[in-house]
Amino acid sequence: MSDAQDLLLDMIAALPDPVFVLTESGRYVALLGGHDRQYYHDGSHLVDFTLNDVLPAEKADWFLQEIRTTIHQNRLRIVEYSLAGRDVSGLPTDTGPRGDLWFEGRVQPLANPINGERAVVWVASNITERHDLQGQLQTLSETDELTGVYNRRKLLAELEQNFAKFQRYHTPLALLIFDIDYFKLINDQHGHLFGDQVLRDLAQQCQSQLREPDTLGRFGGEEFALVLPNTELKQALQLAERLRLDCEQMRFASTTNNAAITISIGLSVATKTDRDITDLLRHTDDALYRAKHAGRNCVKYRTPDTGSPPSMDL
């Protein structure tokens, strides 16, 4: 064997990331490199098996689609995907990384067929640390540091997304804006650290009342907003009243005495006259203003554009 061939074999064996050769039918033809068990499992047993032999049907179908798209487009494609050791049948999991892993796949079509089939080279790079860091940074950018709920920017993005669904599919959408009554007095009497704790406890209490698709965010200061997708006015009012009563019953222990709070709530549902979220926000803010001027500790809402206000049984 020549020195050039020896060098080529050494280079292939030393490839840091695993390189798969896969046919358009999903058969593993070869696996090269990727021997660092800190980042990759030993997948040598996969050769001559198919994706459908070793992967759950949904994941196998996804890989097959990516392979066939790459062959059809005849160009390099880059994809990101999640795959854990437990997803691959027969993979030894006593060595190698644990848990859910994220990979960047660089998929390149081969010029010549293998046993009559088109094929691709698939280089899988473990990007789990980068993916997790990106997730953490995104969470930080979307979260209010004090209360742990979403911040204003994320809240408006969720409202925009749900308003687009309302316009396209006419799915109901409700918005609540509420704030703590006389919050300045709480800070003046008990201090700002106590006021911060009130905000945290209030956010936690409200969050515990919500459904998975609902979005709670701190709008600023002592003001919060709540986006309620697929929610009609009657259901939104029932939730608003429940939140108001829950907050009224909360007690906060300070160094001097116990404190109580109340909240005022403005509510609006999206209607066909709303051109964008600015209109919906304005109507909801107007309802909050009326709640404040009605004596606070109450819920006010914009009535629908057509028909009578709903009969409420709160």
| Residues designated as active site | 222
Q: How many residues does the chain have?
A: 314
Amino acid at 252: F
Task: With both helix axes pointing from N to C terminus, report the angle between 183-190 and 192-207 in degrees, rounded to the nearest 10.
Answer: 130
- Using alpha carbons, select from 177, 297, 279 the residue that is nearest to residue 228: 177
Helices (H), the chain: 3-13, 51-54, 57-73, 128-142, 152-169, 183-190, 192-207, 233-249, 277-293
What Cα–Cα distance (Å) separates residue 314 from each residue in 189, 232, 241, 244, 307?
34, 14, 7, 12, 20
User: Which two three-digit tokens encode residue 104?
Assistant: 């960047």
Contact 81, 131 (CB under 8 A): no
CA 144 to chain centre: 16
- Token readout for 79 is 């994809």
**Helix (H, G, I), strand (E, B), or coil: what is residue 163?**
helix
Q: What is the rounded distance in angstroms from the CA atom of residue 43 to the CA atom of residue 143?
A: 40
129 membership: H or E segment, kind and range: helix 128-142
Token pair, residue 265, equals: 């709530």
Using a CB cutoff of 8 Å and minimum separation of 24, what contacts does 135-141 make?
A: none
Amino acid present at 40:
Y
> What residues form DSSP beta bridges with 23?
119
The DSSP output letter for 303 is P
Q: What backbone torsions phi and psi does residue 185 show, to the nearest 5 degrees?
A: -65, -35
Q: Which residues contact 57 (CB under 8 A, 6 or more apart)?
A: none
